[in-house]
């Protein structure tokens, strides 16, 4: 087990978390189990790992080495800064950078043995010129836009680049990739249209390994796996497809401490704005987590609205009123008093409360939940 403490933590703090008001546990064994399952689903394609945004908020410094020990050899990040940090952790991994080649960065890619994902004809030209100047055929990926209209070469650019033999001879094209727009909806026709466009366009470029599938794309079947898949959210226990029988192990567990339990009379209100009025005499608990910890303010409730339900042991406790910066209020009227006492722990994300459930009530997606988990909670890494 590894503990990661906030900068302001006192040196005399106990390692069992007795002085903590919130604990965020990251289960590296679950992360590895998810990777192995995705690898098996995509086989014989290689299974890479997307560890951008600090491994989706879970901590790249421990998540990436755990994935490497599980056999992952190829990693994707969003920015050059993330790539340099990852290279320090994994000296031998193949590391691709989605943001591509910004002006003046080619030497940094070379110095740290990183691979830009080239997103335009202009970037391909600059990378080829740099490689020719250095006399080294450095590795890169090329991103084709197959219909998402985000990053990537347009069909016209692919046609222009198809005949640029001098450019291709200067570089090592290690991967041609694209990205699916609607893979989280398994029956959406856009995915098949993109797959066909990808095949048509990549055939015009030099031969290289191909990659199309993210987490949801892997679940679409072998036709989408090609040579390499790039899972992200499924690695971290998220739900990649809206309607799917595939479930992945929860990696994140967040719990908050009860600071106080109080009795509130019928007709009284709870929290800022007096948005929730008690319909009966109740026991409420004040829990030490708020939007500063990534527990979104949009999880607030008001009269007549059913919100997120959290857990104390096997007992449910609904959120009451507004989420504030440091606190939430929950109804513990139906929870035994010996369990809902001052100092007890409340499950906010875990086996009973998924990140998807929290995202649903917050009006967002689990990606945003995970990447916004605050740094105030004591982070505890287990397994791996």
* pLDDT tens over the chain, length 384 residues: 555 544 333 333 334 567 899 999 999 999 999 999 999 999 999 999 999 999 999 999 999 999 999 999 999 999 999 999 999 999 999 999 999 999 999 999 999 999 999 999 999 999 999 999 999 999 999 999 999 999 999 999 999 999 999 999 999 999 999 999 999 999 999 999 999 999 999 999 999 999 999 999 999 999 999 999 999 999 999 989 877 777 899 999 999 999 999 999 999 999 999 999 999 999 999 999 999 999 999 999 999 999 999 999 999 999 999 999 999 999 999 999 999 999 999 999 999 999 999 999 999 999 999 999 988 999 999 998
155 lies in the same domain as 265: no
182 lies in the same domain as 320: no
Residue 311: which residues within 8 A CB-CB, separation 6 or more?
317, 346, 347, 350, 352, 353
Alpha carbon distance 371, 355 (integer Å): 11
CA-derived radius of gyration, the chain: 24
216 lies in the same domain as 262: no
Is 167 inside any structural domain?
A: yes
Beta strands, E only, the chain: 2-4, 22-27, 46-47, 49-50, 74-77, 94-97, 115-118, 139-143, 172-177, 209-211, 228-229, 252-264, 269-270, 276-277, 282-287, 309-312, 315-320, 328-331, 345-349, 378-382
Neighbouring-strand partners of residue 118: 142
Is 376 inside any structural domain?
A: no
| Ranges of H-type helices in the chain | 28-42, 52-56, 60-69, 80-89, 106-111, 121-134, 155-161, 165-170, 189-202, 215-218, 355-362, 366-371
Distances (CA, A) of 197 to 9, 125, 207, 221: 53, 23, 16, 17
167 lies in the same domain as 53: yes
CA angle 108, 109, 114 (to 5 degrees): 140
| Ranges of H-type helices in 304-373 | 355-362, 366-371
Per-residue pLDDT, 154: 97
262 lies in the same domain as 297: yes
pTM: 0.91
Q: Has 196 been annotated as catalytic?
A: no
Annotated active-site residue in 52, 109, 224, 381: 52
Q: Has 255 been annotated as catalytic?
A: no
CA nearest to 131, candidates 88, 174, 160: 174
Per-residue pLDDT, 2: 57
Last residue in a domain, options 201, 236, 271: 236
Annotated active-site residue in 190, 196, 204, 272: 272
Number of domains in the chain: 2
Per-residue pLDDT, 4: 55
Is 7 inside any structural domain?
A: no
Alpha carbon distance 138, 358 (integer Å): 44
160 lies in the same domain as 280: no
């Amino acid at each position: 087990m590894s503990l990661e403490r906030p900068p302001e933590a006192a040196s005399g703090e106990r390692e069992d978390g007795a002085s903590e008001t919130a604990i965020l546990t990251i289960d590296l064994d679950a992360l590895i189990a998810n990777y192995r399952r995705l690898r098996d689903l995509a086989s014989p394609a290689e299974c890479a790992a997307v560890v951008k945004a600090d491994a989706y908020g879970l901590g790249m410094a421990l998540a990436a080495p755990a994935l490497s020990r599980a056999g992952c050899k190829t990693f994707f990040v969003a920015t050059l800064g993330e790539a340099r940090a990852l290279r320090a952790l994994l000296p031998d991994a193949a590391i691709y950078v989605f943001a591509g080649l910004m002006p003046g960065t080619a030497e940094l890619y070379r110095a740290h043995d990183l691979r830009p994902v080239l997103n335009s004809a202009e970037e391909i030209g600059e990378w080829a010129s740099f490689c020719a100047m250095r006399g080294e055929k450095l590795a890169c990926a090329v991103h084709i836009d197959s219909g998402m209209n985000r990053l990537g070469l347009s069909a016209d650019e692919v046609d222009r680049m198809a005949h640029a033999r001098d450019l291709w001879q200067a570089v090592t094209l290690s991967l041609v990739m694209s990205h699916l727009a609607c893979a989280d909806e398994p029956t959406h026709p856009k995915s098949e249209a993109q797959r066909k466009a990808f095949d048509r366009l990549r055939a015009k470029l030099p031969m290289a390994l191909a990659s199309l599938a993210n987490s949801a794309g892997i679940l679409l079947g072998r036709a989408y796996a090609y040579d390499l898949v790039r899972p992200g959210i499924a690695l971290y226990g998220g739900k990649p497809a809206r309607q799917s029988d595939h479930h992945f192990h929860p990696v994140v567990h967040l719990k908050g401490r009860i600071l106080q339990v109080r009795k509130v009379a019928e007709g009284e209100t709870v929290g800022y704005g007096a948005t929730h009025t008690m319909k009966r005499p109740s026991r409420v608990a004040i829990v030490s987590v708020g939007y500063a910890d990534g527990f979104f303010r949009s999880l607030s409730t008001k009269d007549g609205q059913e919100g997120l339900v959290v857990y104390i042991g096997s007992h449910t406790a609904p959120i009451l009123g507004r989420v504030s910066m440091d606190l939430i209020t929950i109804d513990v009227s139906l929870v035994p008093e010996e369990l809902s006492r001052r100092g007890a722990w409340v499950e906010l994300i875990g086996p009973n409360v998924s990140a998807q459930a929290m995202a649903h009530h917050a009006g967002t997606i689990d990606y945003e939940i995970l990447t916004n988990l605050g740094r105030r909670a004591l982070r505890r890494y287990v397994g791996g």
